[in-house]
Amino acid sequence: PPKASISAEEFSTIIRMIEIKGSYIGNLFNTQDAIDCFGLIKVPFKVGKLSGLTQTFKLMEEGKISGGYVFDTS
């Protein structure tokens, strides 16, 4: 609910190993929707050599990169 709050006494919560969990996702239906979408979105990425780092920065500055870059340092 909006503006809801919770409080817990620290010492007994830690000693009794109580876990307090929350979610911004919503209810069970919203959670299931989020789980169903998992894996459907593919994020593009490229693997490049570290020697191409300067060129990659130039492409970034020109706005020509979509997705992510991973550099092989071996």
Global confidence as pTM: 0.44
For residue 34, the enclosing domain spans: 10-72
- Write down the pLDDT at residue 25: 62
Question: Is 30 inside a domain boundary?
Answer: yes
Question: Is 16 inside a domain boundary?
Answer: yes
Question: Is 5 inside a domain boundary?
Answer: no
Question: Is 1 inside a domain boundary?
Answer: no
Question: Is 38 inside a domain boundary?
Answer: yes
pLDDT at 1 over 70: no
- What is the identity of the amino acid at 5? S
Question: Is 57 inside a domain boundary?
Answer: yes
**Which tens digits make up the pLDDT trace of 16-62?**
998 887 766 677 787 778 778 877 778 888 999 999 999 999 999 99
Structural domain count of the chain: 1
- Write down the pLDDT at residue 47: 93
Residue 6's nearest CA partner among 31, 18, 34 is 18
- What is the identity of the amino acid at 72? D
